[in-house]
Amino acid sequence: MFPQADQSSDTYEDCKATADWLLAQSAVRPSVGIVCGSGLGGLAAALKDQVAFDYKDVPNFPQSTVHGHAGRLVFGTLRGRSCVCMQGRFHLYEGYSVQKVTLPMRIFKLLGVDTVILTNAAGALNQDFKVGDIMILKDHINLPGLSGNHPLVGLNDERFGVRFPCMSDAYERELQQLALDVGQELGFGDFLKEGVYSVLGGPSFETVAESRMLAKLGADAVGMSTVHEVTVARHCGMRVFALSLITNRAVMDYDSPEKANHEEVLVVAKQRAEQVERLICTMVARMERRHNNNDDDDHDDHHDD
């Protein structure tokens, strides 16, 4: 059964109550938050010393209704770094308000997360992209947001962030470069791309005219998630990295016999999931090393003084 549309916004106190409940249930204090898209929830299995919660058991938390989304919140360590991982996310087409869809980002912030990594399955608009490519997001087009369905509409709580947050730097440049470097080292160069992601409300796939319009606007891939979460994560001051697994090609020709479908999305996600997981696991390990190196540099500078 689908949830009823909910236009209410969860308050800071609601989010803090959920975060406090989770912190009381787990000794993990996550610095990295990971959101797994359709068919990519296996990443959570890489976490060590897991403590997992079904979404239905977490106070104030929505529930995932989409096939391919397990609906669990998993705490643990990934390559030595404390993480919290969402196996499945929430979407506008499930009947949730955009505020409810993005609630986990605010909870991440109150858990102590400073970096968010998001994955999704997307359709290719860029004719140079192939099914199975991994696209690193360098920017997005928020069509629902431009038409007023924006997660920051309403009263702003300064405890989360400023009234008018900047989005020109939504995706952390350093993390994009790290992903490209790691991808080359792992031998993923042939299918690792960069591009612009456009979000639509769904749940129907795009018409030919809609796909052509998005391509003309500069979008390389299209999907039904991620951008709302990115917006709130940046509002909360967290660093963001996101990637799309290209699981189908948007139909751009009226004579094409191709038809987009969710089953195809899950099949391709399963085939490429291992490489996505290796990329993110290596990135997390490298982020930790870079952080430690910076700490060492700071320590050395202090010692020289």
Catalytic residues: 38, 69, 91, 93-94, 121, 224-225, 248, 262
Q: Which residues of 221-232 are buried (b: 16+ CB within 10 A; e: fewer)?
A: bbbbbbbbbbbb
* DSSP-derived 3-state class of residue 239: strand
The helix-helix angle for 262-304 and 173-185 (nearest 10°) equals 110
CA distance linking residue 111 with residue 32, whole number of Å: 10
What DSSP line would sit under 178-214, residue for residue? HHHHHHHHTT-GGGEEEEEEEE---SSPPPHHHHHHH
User: What residue type is 117 in one-letter code?
Assistant: I
SS3 call for 83: strand
Report the C-alpha gap between 283 and 292 in whole angstroms: 14
Q: Which residues contact 260 (CB under 8 A, 6 or more apart)?
A: 123, 205, 206, 248, 250, 251
Are the CB atoms for 272 and 193 separated by under 8 Å?
Answer: no
